[in-house]
Amino acid sequence: MKIERMLGWPLKRVHLPDGDLLVLQYCKTGDEPDLSLHDINHNVYRLNPQRQIVWQVKRDDSNHPPDWWEVLHRVAREEGHDGAREPFTEFMLEYPDGSNNKTEMETLPLQSEWVPGCKVWLRGSAYQLYVLDPDTGIATNVTKWPMRPW
């Protein structure tokens, strides 16, 4: 995917000290560009200062059953969709002192600054919570399984 595909999307950004950016492309207004099933489910990128893609996020869902995504896709296809579209929806930064990047209104900003020792959390649209390694692009699912005890 080229950076041009991101234009028109409201990007959530995390600025890194070296000039790189972590970007999350997500909106649900109905007029956003159409993305492939893969790209909507891997909608976080690291861009270098020239705004070239360094990596596209890889999901590590090894804390869930091995067929978890297959089941999600099957159910979505039975409902007439091309598969489960479960993009990441926002970044949350946890700073070394325990504070985070939430605003006074408890919302998450469109832009944040990463500092050394900062943990990057990704909220998924299917009640999933991930920790993102900004160096490798691996988002590790840390949601307890099963999610609902009933």
Residue 28 has pLDDT above 70, yes or no: no
pTM (two decimals): 0.86
Query: Is the model's pLDDT at 65 over the cut of 60?
Result: yes
Under the banding of pLDDT at 50, 70 and 90, the label for residue 40 is confident
Q: Return the domain boundaries, the chain.
A: 8-141
Hunting for tokens 């990057």 — which residue is that? Answer: 120
User: Where in the chain does DSSP place strands (E)?
Assistant: 11-15, 21-25, 44-47, 53-56, 58-60, 88-94, 111-113, 119-124, 129-132, 138-141
At 1 the pLDDT is 45
Cα angle for residues 141, 9, 54 (degrees, 5° grid): 55
**Residue where the block lists tokens 């919570």:** 129
Q: How far apart are CA 1 and CA 94, in angstroms?
A: 29
